[in-house]
């Protein structure tokens, strides 16, 4: 039996919309992108959503909005030491200095008790990551941010569907960045999207994704072909060639939006199926405790069912890689559970951090992996997953 890590469902609606876009000849960002943005904003409960070319770009552009509020290049952004490396890369790409804070092993998320000691006069934002769809402790984070007048940008790349104390992840901070990568619950194959309740920042995001140009209307008729732009020459020159800020090239195209709209059509069914798979597979892992561990769903939250994280216990007589090799040999695909960016990712070595500064993140980087919980996994796959783990435990533990 094979259990692949991810699966994508491309719906008949997605195929229809993609074909219509191809036949129309309008395949760059246009009406489908705007429709996808509106639907995504409604789903999250935010007033605005701005689609971009990747989840990483979503984080970069959300961070770049800080310049509109007085930030300077080189200012600091606080983020967890443990995340997919894109989070740290995005801080650097946006022109800021990453300040890493260790995580709590049981949640995989930033430890709020460590945040305030990392704040300096140059701190401009906190960037919590809802890793593996587990909501960060947003009440504590928002309270710290308010005390120190900092922005909060949620990295919700993996947190589609997650809820924290009755609120949707992605509608709690000032901005939130989602990935729409192929393995995620809502996908446009590649792509990302930023949500916010600040109309001004939404306009800035639309400018940023198109080289910083002055065109930032929520519906740009130049792109959609829906009419002549009234603002195009209102300043005596073509507004499309007026650049208000340093920007990026990060637009979503119509074909990606078509796939995203199809994904939204079946969103509820996919979340329900994946959440059930996640809970069942969490039970499998905890049955092998303490040699294997995972997080849990607390009463105040709903886990976004992105994937199942697994940690090998400290006293286990085998390594993470031993177990991963066994799983892969039996057809169960896996991914390592990321790493401590400042001490386990060579690209950040120039910051001068030393091994042991982020012991919890480093533990996860050494001991953690994750497996899929996607919509094509059925009860027989979960039973097989249990049997494969049981065989390994019998032989090695």
pLDDT in tens, 260-269: 999 999 999 9
Confidence of residue 217 (pLDDT cuts 50, 70, 90): confident
Angle between helices 31-44 and 254-265 (to 10 degrees): 40
**Residue range 330-357: mean pLDDT, rounded:** 97
Kindly state the average pLDDT of the residues 187-212.
96
Distance CA 320, CA 332 (A): 14
What CA–CA distance (Å, rounded) separates 112 from 135? Answer: 13
Q: pLDDT confidence of 227, banded at 50, 70, 90?
A: low
Tokens of 108: 């995989």
Q: Which residue has the higher pLDDT, 393 or 241?
A: 393
- Nearest by Cα to 137 from 174, 98, 108: 108
Predicted confidence at residue 270, as pLDDT, reads 97
Residue bearing tokens 């894109």: 86
Where do the domains of the chain lie, and which CATH numbers do they carry?
A: 12-265 (3.40.640.10), 267-396 (3.90.1150.10)
Burial class, 110, CB count within 10 angstroms (exposed 0-12 / middle 13-18 / buried 19+): buried
**pLDDT tens profile 34-91:** 999 999 999 999 999 999 999 999 999 999 999 999 999 999 999 999 999 999 999 9
**What pLDDT does 222 receive?**
46
Burial of 56 (0-12, 13-18, 19+ CB in 10 A): buried
| The predicted structure's pLDDT at residue 221 | 42
In this structure, of 42-51, 148-157, 224-233, the range with the lowest mean pLDDT score is 224-233
Kindly indicate the confidence band of residue 216, based on its pLDDT and cuts at 50, 70 and 90: confident
Token pair of 111, please? 């430890």
pLDDT at 25 over 60: yes
- Looking at the DSSP assignment, which residues form a beta bridge with residue 167? 164
Q: How confident is the model at residue 397 (pLDDT cuts 50, 70, 90)?
A: confident
The total number of residues written for the chain in this structure: 397
């Amino acid at each position: 039996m094979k259990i692949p890590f991810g699966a994508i469902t491309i719906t008949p609606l997605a195929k229809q919309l993609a074909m219509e876009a191809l036949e129309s000849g309008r395949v760059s960002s246009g009406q489908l992108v705007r429709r996808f943005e509106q639907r995504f904003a409604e789903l999250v409960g935010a007033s605005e959503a701005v689609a971009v070319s990747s989840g990483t770009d979503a984080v970069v552009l959300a961070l770049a909005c800080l310049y509109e509020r007085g930030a300077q290049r080189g200012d600091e952004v606080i983020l967890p030491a443990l995340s997919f490396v894109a989070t740290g890369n995005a801080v650097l790409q946006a022109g800021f200095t990453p300040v890493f804070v260790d995580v709590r092993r049981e949640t995989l998320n930033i430890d709020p008790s460590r945040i305030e000691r990392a704040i300096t006069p140059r701190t401009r934002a906190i960037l919590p990551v809802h890793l593996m769809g587990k909501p960060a402790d947003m009440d504590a984070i928002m309270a710290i941010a308010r005390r120190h007048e900092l922005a909060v940008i949620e990295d919700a790349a993996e947190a589609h569907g997650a809820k924290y104390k009755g609120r949707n992840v992605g509608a709690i901070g000032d901005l939130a960045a989602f990935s729409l990568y192929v393995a995620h619950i809502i996908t446009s194959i590649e792509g990302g999207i930023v949500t916010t309740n600040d109309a001004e920042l939404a306009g800035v995001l639309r400018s940023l994704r198109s080289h910083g140009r002055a065109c930032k209307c929520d519906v740009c008729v130049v792109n959609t072909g829906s009419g002549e732009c009234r603002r195009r020459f209102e300043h005596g020159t073509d507004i499309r060639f007026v650049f208000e800020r340093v920007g990026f090239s990060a637009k979503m195209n119509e074909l990606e939006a078509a796939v995203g709209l199809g994904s939204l059509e079946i969103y509820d069914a996919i979340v329900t199926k994946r959440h059930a798979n996640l809970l069942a597979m969490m039970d499998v892992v905890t049955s092998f405790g303490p040699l294997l561990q995972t997080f849990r769903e607390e009463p105040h939250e709903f886990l976004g069912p992105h994937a199942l994280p697994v940690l090998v216990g400290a006293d286990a007589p085998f390594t993470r890689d031993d177990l991963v090799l066994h799983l892969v040999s039996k057809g169960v695909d896996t991914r390592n559970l990321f790493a401590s960016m400042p001490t386990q990712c060579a690209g950040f070595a120039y910051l001068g951090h030393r091994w042991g500064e982020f012991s919890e993140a480093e533990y996860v980087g050494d001991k953690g992996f994750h497996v899929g919980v996607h919509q094509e996994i059925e009860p027989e796959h979960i039973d097989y997953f249990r049997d494969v783990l049981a065989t390994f435990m019998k032989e090695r533990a």
